[in-house]
Amino acid sequence: MPFFSLLLYAFVSSFTPGPNNIMAMVFANKYGFKKTLRFCFGVGSGFFIIMLLCSYFDLLLKSFIPKMEWIMTVLGAIYMVYLAIKLIISKQHENDNNGDQNSFITGMLLQFVNPKAILYGITIVSTFILPYHTSNLSLIGYSFFLAVIGFMGTISWSVFGSVFQRFLSKYRNQFQVVMALLLVFTAISILVH
């Protein structure tokens, strides 16, 4: 098994901008790191579930992917554009308790409409894991391992949002526009890809 290639692919995919990381940074900037942890744990949990599904149903998914990929891609892109619009129109002093409400569920459910996570899971499982490991224990272990890497990526973006909270709050409108544009760019790049 080319473990170094798996690690490289996993780290690059997990630490580059995407819906999870951008939303984690925005939440941390808006609500602080502590309140964003629930969102990050939700992302990690949802990501673990996606990795398990990809592990156990990769062959089934491969047969349906040509039919379902476009639908999932469009739904994911629409959701990212929705998040971008929400970012731009959100007010600076919205109710700060929103950072706690259902943020775990939000983070978890985001994975099921996140085409980057789903396509990543299908790719990494079919390329790096299933050709070498098929036991239940190894599939669960690799799913957990990949979820931990994804969680680390999301946490690092949260730390960035939290550390630069004072600076980013000074330029909140510009920051929100840039983050919204990154989400739209991600949605477009997924649609074009």
Q: What pLDDT does residue 95 have?
A: 47
Q: What pLDDT does residue 100 have?
A: 55
Span 152-180, pLDDT tens digits:
999 999 998 888 877 877 887 887 788 78
Q: What pLDDT does residue 40 have?
A: 95
Q: What pLDDT does residue 73 have?
A: 67
Q: What pLDDT does residue 143 have?
A: 95
For the chain, residues with pLDDT lower than 50 are 93-96
Break the chain into its structural domains and give their ranges.
30-91+98-192
One-letter-per-residue 3-state SS of the chain: CCHHHHHHHHHHHHHCCCHHHHHHHHHHHHHCHHHHHHHHHHHHHHHHHHHHHHHHHHHHHHHHHHHHHHHHHHHHHHHHHHHHHHHHHCCCCCCHHHHCCCHHHHHHHHHHHCHHHHHHHHHHHHHHHCCCCCCHHHHHHHHHHHHHHHHHHHHHHHHHHHHCHHHHHHCHHHHHHHHHHHHHHHHHHHHHC
Q: What pLDDT does residue 93 have?
A: 47
Q: What pLDDT does residue 108 have?
A: 92
